[in-house]
């Protein structure tokens, strides 16, 4: 069950991060904001997928870094497109927390 939650959170963060990144470019926004939204979203998705598939701590670190990037961009852009990133940031944080708790308890405890 924990793997499914981790995968769903990472996947949702990836889709929302990419969608908002494309929206930022379409509205004529800064390239760094697009890069942070898109790469953070993709990083959360890849990190969650690889960690849930039995990957090591490096994939969990990528998931945490991506969740932090989405959260920072959400706070910085809260009065424009940041509000659209809130579900993705929350999903990435949930995936990171679930992945961390699964790592602590061990993979055999949460099949």
* Domain span at 37: 2-105
**Is 111 contained in some domain?**
no
Residue labelled with tokens 């809260």: 78
Neighbours of 27 (CB within 10 A): 10
**Is 24 contained in some domain?**
yes
Specify the range with the lowest mean pLDDT, choosing from 19-28, 38-47, 68-77: 19-28
**Is 23 contained in some domain?**
yes
**Is 95 contained in some domain?**
yes
**Is 13 contained in some domain?**
yes
**Is 80 contained in some domain?**
yes
Looking at the structure of the chain, the number of domains it has is 1
Among 3, 34, 4, 10, which residue's Cα sits nearest to residue 93? Answer: 10
Contacts of 88 (CB under 8 A, 6+ apart): 12, 13, 15, 16, 17, 20, 41, 44, 70
State pTM to two decimals. Answer: 0.82
Q: What is the mean pLDDT of residues 63-85?
A: 89
Neighbours of 53 (CB within 10 A): 11
Q: What is the mean pLDDT of residues 34-54?
A: 87
- Return the pLDDT at 76: 87
């Amino acid at each position: 069950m924990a793997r499914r939650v981790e995968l769903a959170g990472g996947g949702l963060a990836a889709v929302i991060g990419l969608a908002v990144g494309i929206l930022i470019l379409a509205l004529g926004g800064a390239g760094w904001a697009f890069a942070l939204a898109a790469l953070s979203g993709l990083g959360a998705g890849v990190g969650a997928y690889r960690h849930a598939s039995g990957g090591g701590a490096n994939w969990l670190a990528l998931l945490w870094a991506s969740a932090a990037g989405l959260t920072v961009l959400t706070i910085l852009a809260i009065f424009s497109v940041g509000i659209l990133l809130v579900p993705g940031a929350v999903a990435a944080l949930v995936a990171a927390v679930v992945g961390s708790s699964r790592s602590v308890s061990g993979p055999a405890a949460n099949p």
